[in-house]
Amino acid sequence: MSQAYLYLTILIYFAIGTVVAVIARRGLKRNMADFFLANRTLNGIIAALTYSATTYSAFMLVGLAGFTYTGGVGAWGFELIYLSGLVLVAFFGPRFWLAGKKFNYISPAEMLGDRYESKALAVITAVASVIFLIPYSAVQLIGIGTLLEGMSGGSISFISGLVLATVIAISWAWIGGMRSVAWTDSLQALMMVIVSTLSVFFIVYRSFGGFGELFGTLENQVPEWLAVPGPGFFNFKPFLGLSLPWFFFSLSNPQVSQRLFVPRSLSHMRIMVMGFLVFGFIYTLISILWGFSARILLPGLPSADLATPALLASTHVPQSLALLIMLGITAAAISTINSIILTLSSMVSRDILAKINIRITGEKELALGKIFVPIFAAAAFLFATLRLDLIVILSVASSAGLLVTVPPIAGTFFWKRGTAGGAIAGIIAGGVIAFWFQFGDIRPLGWWPGIWSGIVSSSLFILVSLLTKPPAEKASYFVKSINKLLKEKNVI
């Protein structure tokens, strides 16, 4: 595809997004809550769209479609089990929101540190997030670089793709913090879902004659793709190893859980949750149908990751449509990267630097947070240029690695006996297990790293908590005051 077309498309996308980002920043005040949480005043629809765009990355149309290509319908089950995990938001969302408002929390790490009365816990949670999420962002950048390089036939270099994506991600986060990110995310979420839905309709109707015919073809040609374990990729243990950590994604990933602080009210949070669920169901279905279509149209590809690029490059997809899909995938990646960068910046400023040096407050804290936006983007860029295996391992390990924060988060609201010692022991040991098992490809008893990091972190959180002294007064005050507010708001 012509280099000029690709550049022009991205330029138009960048220009429109920048206008949206600038408009969104109007009225921005110079404080942490406004820059990183849009002053906790997001409208439910915008909150739903930013939640969707942040959650769904380039993984969907590339990775999940690839899983479908190789493993069949198990990919649909895996992603829908994740979606059902939103029940955790139905339980914890109002609790986060009320606690955030009452205690003025900016990040989930800050909430943990305050509730367990431990600066060290806030610092460790923030550091763990940086360790696992920067490589995850780098992998998104690698995806954009590879896609642009592949689609342009090499005339746009991998590095040029990375530079473009990094500049876009920094710009929109820098211009107006969460306000700009939320609005550009919304634009991108709509783009992602509209473009991918139109494309799948086009491919399915043109190549198969309709959805019934697509499934008819699958039943005839590759019937095992419609059952699990089916072709073997989704045997039970890998399926569980993938699905279980992802079930907890809405709590374990701070770029997502921080969004529980931002809706204007609980009715706007309800719109956010339901809007996301509808978006997620549609986007998952589209990604799976895309993978199934690739399986029938282009059998025998050497790698599952090639399913989407190969389909885009094939004669089954007209160039104009391929260009739009490329943009949809780029939007999915950028909207995830800039949200991660923004969240990590808030955590470094509030949970690491301000905890180490108590004189960092107010505008100084905000200025430091903003400085980290380009720093983290540059770090992700550098990691992406290195293309180290280690980055991919850390990225893959991120769901298992961040899972270790879930037991203390649950304890925050439901277990007054929990202690910072228990939380820290669980996070460190669980995080090390996640990385070590992923790095060494170690699967004791055949179970995946996420299962072990979950077991180790939960057990240690409970055991060490029982052996150490809890912050009794704070725990009692926190739980009692949140429960009182929950009752007033009729939250179960």
Q: Which residues bind another protein (CB under 8 A)?
A: 73-74, 76-77, 80-81, 83-84, 86-87, 89-91, 94, 215, 218-219, 223-224, 226-229, 236, 239-240, 243, 247, 265-267, 269-270, 273-274, 277-278, 281, 285, 414, 488-492
User: What does R_g of the chain's alpha carbons equal in angstroms?
Assistant: 22
Shortest separation between residue 294's beta carbon and another protein, angstroms: 17
Closest CB to another protein among 52 and 118?
A: 52
Closest CB to another protein among 205 and 281?
A: 281
Burial degree of 206 (CB within 10 A; 0-12, 13-18, 19+): exposed
Shortest separation between residue 277's beta carbon and another protein, angstroms: 5
CB 127 within 8 A of CB 352: yes
Closest CB to another protein among 235 and 468?
A: 235
Q: Using N-to-C axis directions, what is the helix angle for 3-24 and 158-207, rounded to 10°? A: 100
Q: Assign 3-class secondary structure to 170-215.
A: HHHHHHHHHHHHHHHHHHHHHHHHHHHHHHHHHHHHHHCCCHHHHH
Shortest separation between residue 4's beta carbon and another protein, angstroms: 42
| Distance in angstroms (rounded) separating the CA atoms of residues 33 and 53 | 21
| Distance in angstroms (rounded) separating the CA atoms of residues 54 and 247 | 16
| Distance in angstroms (rounded) separating the CA atoms of residues 105 and 97 | 9
Shortest separation between residue 224's beta carbon and another protein, angstroms: 6
| Distance in angstroms (rounded) separating the CA atoms of residues 40 and 178 | 10
Q: For the chain, how many residues are written?
A: 492
Q: How many CA atoms lie within 13 A of 236 on its CB side?
A: 1
Shortest separation between residue 212's beta carbon and another protein, angstroms: 8
Shortest separation between residue 44's beta carbon and another protein, angstroms: 11
CB 261 within 8 A of CB 168: no
Shortest separation between residue 288's beta carbon and another protein, angstroms: 8
Closest CB to another protein among 143 and 275?
A: 275
CB 50 within 8 A of CB 339: yes
Closest CB to another protein among 147 and 482?
A: 482
CA trace torsion 79, 84, 87, 93 (10° rounding): 30
Which residues are CB-contacts of 173 (< 8 A; sequence separation ≥ 6)? 180, 181, 338, 341, 342, 345, 373, 377
Shortest separation between residue 88's beta carbon and another protein, angstroms: 9
Closest CB to another protein among 441 and 488?
A: 488
Shortest separation between residue 90's beta carbon and another protein, angstroms: 4
Shortest separation between residue 426's beta carbon and another protein, angstroms: 21
| Distance in angstroms (rounded) separating the CA atoms of residues 441 and 258 | 32
Among left, alpha and beta (phi > 0; psi -120 to 50; other), residue 490 is left
Closest CB to another protein among 313 and 491?
A: 491
Closest CB to another protein among 239 and 435?
A: 239
Q: How many CA atoms lie within 13 A of 125 on its CB side?
A: 37
Closest CB to another protein among 132 and 415?
A: 415
Closest CB to another protein among 222 and 428?
A: 222
